[in-house]
Amino acid sequence: MNFTQALAAFIGRKIEAFLTNQFVQGTLLGVGDGFFTVQVPNPSYTSPTIQVTVFIQNVEFVRILAA
């Protein structure tokens, strides 16, 4: 089992992804070959949530939050 397969088991859960110069927190939507997608709440109250694609090669670590 590699990192992508392990991460796919947590689709639908809240995660925190730490990158070299960025922090992403939201709901894991999907995992592909070399990337994953996170639904991130927009800090603006007038805009809906946004989807962010994170490339696995840029990830330092991922934390799965308690349900």
pLDDT in tens, 15-62: 999 998 999 999 999 999 999 999 998 777 777 888 999 999 999 999
**Side-chain half-sphere CA neighbours of 11 within 13 A:** 10
pTM for the complete prediction?
Answer: 0.88
Amino acid (1-letter code) at residue 8 = A
In angstroms, the CA 44 to CA 36 distance is 24
| pLDDT for res 36 | 97
Task: Name the β-bridge partners of 61.
Answer: 18
